[in-house]
Amino acid sequence: MSTTADAAAPDAEKAPAFSLELSQDQRDIRDWVHGFAKSVVRPAAAEWDEREETPWPIIQEAAKIGLYGFEGVAQLHADPTGLTMAIANEELFWGDAGIGMAIMGTNLAVASIFGSGTPEQMGEFIPQCYGTVDEPQVASFCVSEPDAGSDVSALRTTARYDEPADEWVLNGQKAWATNGGIANIHVIVATVDRALGSRGQAAFVIPPETPGLTQGTKVKKHGLRASHTADVFLDDCRIPGRCLLGGKDKLDSRLARAREGGRSNSQAAMQTFEVTRPIVGAQAIGIARAAYEYSLDYARERKQFGRAIIENQAIAFALADMKMEIDAARLLVWRASWMGRTGQRFTAAEGSMSKLKAGEVAVWATERAIQILGGNGYTREFPVERWHRDAKIYTIFEGTSEIQRLVIARAISGLQIA
Q: Which sequence positions are flagged as catalytic?
A: 398
For residue 15, report the phi and psi dihedrals to the nearest 5 degrees. Answer: -70, 145
Query: What is d(CA 130, CA 126) in angstroms, rounded to the nearest whole number?
Result: 7
Q: Which DSSP string corresponds to 131-171? A: B-SSSB--EEEE--BTTBSS-GGG---EEEEETTTTEEEEE
Residue 385, CA distances (Å) to 2, 135, 363 in order: 61, 33, 11
Cβ proximity of 158 and 188 under 8 Å: no
Closest of 139, 137, 90 to residue 114, by C-alpha:
139
State in Å, rounded, how far the first CA of the chain is from the last one: 52
Let me know how long the chain is: 418
SS3 per-residue string spanning 278-328: HHHHHHHHHHHHHHHHHHHHHHHHCEECCEEHHHCHHHHHHHHHHHHHHHH
